[in-house]
Amino acid sequence: MEGAWSSGLTPHLRAGIIAAVAALVIDQASKLWLLYGFDIARRGAVRVTPFFDLVLAWNVGISFGWLQTDHQLAQLALMAIKAVAVIVLGVWMARSSTLLATLALGLIIGGAIGNGIDRFLHGAVVDFALFHLDIGGKTFNWYVFNLADVAIVAGVVGLLYDSFRGVPAAKAP
């Protein structure tokens, strides 16, 4: 079995695939636990710290809630765009020559697939993490997000950092 897994895969690509699978599994496990184990829909918002709450938000749009629509055709279009993006990122990851870029692309792919699974199963992405700050009686909220979003942002930061290191990397397809 080891031979089948390793044939044709560079150590970098193997690490990127592991990062994608880890991001996907952690994301989906957290959502399943919050929805069915913790039952956040019944509990409602739960204050964890003075600046962080667990909430349930169904995001029918794209990043940061943009393009909010629950129209089935729009949801299918978003899933198709996400599928094409994952394929393009996968090709880029396979061509990447640096470990950091490969790991970063793996995180982005895992996060995108995790949110895509939500969209397929629920018609919306399950978001649950809310950071907020209370200043002078006013509450300032960040966008509600999930661990797939964290993986995507970490991946983008990793790609940006890698691009400034001066190491030649494969160009995006």
Task: Verify whether residue 27 is a known catalytic residue.
Answer: no
Catalytic choice (27, 53, 118, 149): 149
Q: What is the 3-state secondary structure (H, E, C) of 7-25?
A: CCCCHHHHHHHHHHHHHHH
Task: Give the H/E segment covering residue 49.
Answer: strand 46-49
**What is the secondary structure of 111-150 as a DSSP string?**
HHHHHHHHHHHHSSEEEEEEEEEEETTEEEEPPPB-HHHH
Catalytic choice (53, 118, 127, 162): 127
What residues contact residue 50 under an 8 Å CB cut-off, 6+ apart?
134
Task: Verify whether residue 127 is a known catalytic residue.
Answer: yes
Q: Catalytic positions, please?
A: 127, 149
